[in-house]
Structure 1
Amino acid sequence: MLEHDLYRLFGFRSFKAGQKEIIQTLLDQNDVFAMLPTGRGKSLCYQLPALLTEGLTIVISPLLSLMEDQVQQLKRQGIKQVASLNSFSTWDERRELLDQLHMYKILYTSPEMLQSKELLNRLIPIRIAYLVVDEAHCVSYWGHDFRADYLRIKNVKELLSNPPCLAITATASAFVREDVMTQLALTKPVSFIESVNRSNISLFVEEVSIAKQKVERLCEVLEKAKVPGLIYVQTRAHAESLFLQLRERIPMLKSSYYHGGMPSEERMLIQQQFIEGQLDVVIATSAFGMGLNKSDIRFVVHLHYPLDMASYVQEIGRAGRDNEQSIALVLISPEDYAYAQFFVQRNERSEEEWIAVMNELSKQAVDEQTIVKRLEELQIEQGRTFLYLMELWGIKWNTLREEAKIKNLATKLYRYFKDRQEERLERLKPVVTYINQAESCRRATMLRFFDEEPVLQGQCCDRCGLTLNAFQRDEDAKHDKRFEWQEELNILFGLTEK
């Protein structure tokens, strides 16, 4: 029985809702698309089949920190035949791993690393048990824009003799689910779609009159809120600035910041400190939180408009995984909508700008590496997508020497990325509805976006009459864990009885 294997390998006596069905369908050699809410144990859905099936399971993951966290968790459970291969690996580590690849059961890697000819040459002769795409919504959200290697996964799948494929995520609209299954070329996939509703997370939106008042209101909330918690901001500069302001205003609050521009070691340290309870609050961009294994997060605050509903639901779903009551608060000011629009459109380039880029590239770019590097120097982050589109459109770079051909390619690039931008603007609209136009219940508005029937559960949001006062820390909690160091110091010097 699967329950026996579950207990033997992971120490759990029973499955969470949805897990067993997904696992059995994979073991039956079917392609699967699964959507399980945050905290439902998505990783177990592929880890258990991987350990029960002959061969290597490849897990494609979007973030280095997420890969490393998964690997370390499995090793702590005594499962040693697991490794990650990513840009953080040293040359010697890569060589040793590739030489011993046939001895592993699970390999975590990125969509970009999966395109490495060296890795593919080692994978092709090996029996591949399963191909797993974790956080599968990234295929649709990022693949069409700046991480085109997500769109190449189906080619790798074919090279590896089409092993059963699992695409799994916490949130995805019906459109995104269909797009993911199409882009991965899943064969007659069996879908498991669970509700995104988390009834223990209460929903709030507050508006202040000017942006500067956000920090004041946030401090009022933090002074009384139960910790730990997450605060999401839009940019790296916002994260660092808010950290400094909170450190000055609430010095006893143990906080830090996290964003994609920090060194990998520093990011992994912040994540581990938060998991271990050494930090009360992390101020972060959207780069933080995927796969975060922490059950007691009590609040998630967004200080700007979320850019799409699916990402918002996934981010607030990091709260209350212990099923205790938690809150999700969006704190906005009147100018935030215009800022969200600007943020979505910030990388927009006109057709003339793309022509200038093409002309600049034609002067010196001779191979893929040079093209990508030069595009980075021109502050264009879609280098890998550029190469993918060239391949998709059947364009050879060495033929682009005529002005007419360069202009034609620039026009196609402009239209392609303009369409992607329009898609992002469309994804912003449901967020606007949730924040400004939810007439009766925010939860009902949120669930309708995912084609779910609204759930009636009494006071569940500010529109239903709920207030943040219900979630304040007790006055006695002024001596909570944030002040324990003072008590320990007093005990040490005999000023307080133990």
Structure 2
Amino acid sequence: MTNLNKVLKERFGFNEFKPGQAAILEALIAGQNVVGILPTGGGKSLIYQMMGSLRPGVVLIVSPLLSLMQDQVGRLNFLGEAKAIALNSTLDQQTRTDVLRHLGDFHYIFVSPEMLTNPSIQRALRQVQINLMVVDEAHTIVSWGPDFRPEYLQLAAIHAQLNSPQLLLLTATATQKMLASMLTVMQLAVQHTKIVRLSVNRENIY
């Protein structure tokens, strides 16, 4: 069994996990698809960062906002992880072409759902080993997808086209109805999916 606390300390400098983090990691290591509903500040990004340290292959993170992608790449760079990139509109065509040619060299790839529908990006991703596919801010699948970002509704089909890598959905915002809708859109059977839900109430906020 992987010593998660040892990796947490040596790689990330923390002495203990926040609530929910270890349960999600253990489920992922066991091979389950997971939905993690943790409060803001609950350390959701550390979960997929750790999975990138625990297993080989690319961690593919579907992220809704350009600023969020850039922030996460910057945090990984700060931790000494140089092989992280955001595949988005800030890359010129030549840089994007070069990145796609060497996609397997990266450990963490952040991408918007719109960019993920690009056939050339899908072709490149099918050539690499995907450690984990993460949908960050996963409530946007149902809160944005039906209205103005329909690409979110294509994620299940894209996931299948990428050879169905293990899935991790992360959010701080999901009612029971939203959770059920997320599972339906992503074609995840509830009996085969680990749900880790913590209260989003924070004592310091009224």
TM-score interval (norm. to shorter): over 0.9
* 1:193 equivalent in alignment to 2:171: no
Q: Residues 34 and 168 of structure 1 are in contact (CA less than 8 Å); yes or no, is this contact kept in structure 2? A: yes
Q: How far off its partner does 1:113 sit?
A: 0.3
- Equivalent residue, structure 2, for 1:488: none
- Equivalent residue, structure 2, for 1:80: 82
Counterpart-to-counterpart distance in 2, 1:60 and 1:160: 13
Counterpart-to-counterpart distance in 2, 1:175 and 1:126: 35
Q: Residues 56 and 128 of structure 1 are in contact (CA less than 8 Å); yes or no, is this contact kept in structure 2? A: yes
| 2:91 alignment partner, one of 86, 89, 92 | 89
Structure 2 SS opposite 1:112: helix
Counterpart-to-counterpart distance in 2, 1:125 and 1:95: 15
Counterpart-to-counterpart distance in 1, 2:111 and 2:91: 11
Please tell me the root mean square deviation across aligned C-alpha atoms, in Å: 1.0
- Equivalent residue, structure 2, for 1:5: 7
| 2:34 alignment partner, one of 28, 32, 35 | 32
Structure 2 residues not aligned, in runs of 5+: none
Counterpart-to-counterpart distance in 1, 2:90 and 2:186: 26
Higher relative contact order (CA 8 A, sep 6+): 2
Counterpart-to-counterpart distance in 1, 2:48 and 2:22: 11
Give CA deviations for 1:328-386 in whole Å, capped at 9, x if unaligned.
xxxxxxxxxxxxxxxxxxxxxxxxxxxxxxxxxxxxxxxxxxxxxxxxxxxxxxxxxxx
Give CA deviations for 1:312-331 in whole Å, capped at 9, x if unaligned.
xxxxxxxxxxxxxxxxxxxx
* 1:53 equivalent in alignment to 2:51: no
Counterpart-to-counterpart distance in 2, 1:81 and 1:51: 12
Q: How many residues align?
A: 202
Amino acid at match of 1:43: S
Counterpart-to-counterpart distance in 1, 2:105 and 2:111: 16
Amino acid at match of 1:55: G
Counterpart-to-counterpart distance in 2, 1:27 and 1:104: 21
Counterpart-to-counterpart distance in 2, 1:17 and 1:3: 13
Amino acid at match of 2:156: K
Matches within 5 A, 1:236-255: none
Counterpart-to-counterpart distance in 2, 1:178 and 1:200: 29
Structure 1 SS opposite 2:196: strand
Q: How far off its partner does 1:99 sit?
A: 1.4
* 1:113 equivalent in alignment to 2:115: yes
- Equivalent residue, structure 1, for 2:131: 129
Counterpart-to-counterpart distance in 2, 1:137 and 1:149: 14
| 2:143 alignment partner, one of 129, 141, 144 | 141
Amino acid at match of 2:193: P
Matches within 5 A, 1:64-79: 64-79=66-81
Amino acid at match of 2:201: N
Amino acid at match of 1:127: Q
Counterpart-to-counterpart distance in 1, 2:112 and 2:17: 28
Counterpart-to-counterpart distance in 2, 1:80 and 1:26: 24
Q: Residues 165 and 186 of structure 1 are in contact (CA less than 8 Å); yes or no, is this contact kept in structure 2? A: no
- Structure with bigger gyration radius: 1
Structure 1 residues not aligned, in runs of 5+: 203-498
- Equivalent residue, structure 1, for 2:45: 43
Matches within 5 A, 1:470-489: none
* 1:175 equivalent in alignment to 2:177: yes
Structure 2 SS opposite 1:89: coil
Counterpart-to-counterpart distance in 2, 1:125 and 1:102: 8
Amino acid at match of 2:176: A
- Equivalent residue, structure 2, for 1:152: 154
Q: How far off its partner does 1:92 sit?
A: 2.0
Q: How far off its partner does 1:51 sit?
A: 2.2
User: Runs of 4+ in structure 1 displaced over 3 angstroms?
Assistant: none
Q: How far off its partner does 1:63 sit?
A: 0.1
Q: How far off its partner does 1:118 sit?
A: 0.7
Counterpart-to-counterpart distance in 1, 2:45 and 2:153: 22
Give CA deviations for 1:291-314 in whole Å, capped at 9, x if unaligned.
xxxxxxxxxxxxxxxxxxxxxxxx
Structure 2 SS opposite 1:57: strand
Structure 2 SS opposite 1:151: helix
Structure 2 SS opposite 1:43: helix
TM-score, scaled relative to structure 1: 0.40
Amino acid at match of 1:16: K
Amino acid at match of 2:202: R
Amino acid at match of 1:141: S
TM-score, scaled relative to structure 2: 0.95
- Equivalent residue, structure 2, for 1:216: none
Q: Residues 37 and 196 of structure 1 are in contact (CA less than 8 Å); yes or no, is this contact kept in structure 2? A: yes
Q: Residues 81 and 103 of structure 1 are in contact (CA less than 8 Å); yes or no, is this contact kept in structure 2? A: yes
Q: How far off its partner does 1:171 sit?
A: 1.3
Counterpart-to-counterpart distance in 1, 2:14 and 2:204: 23
Amino acid at match of 1:23: L
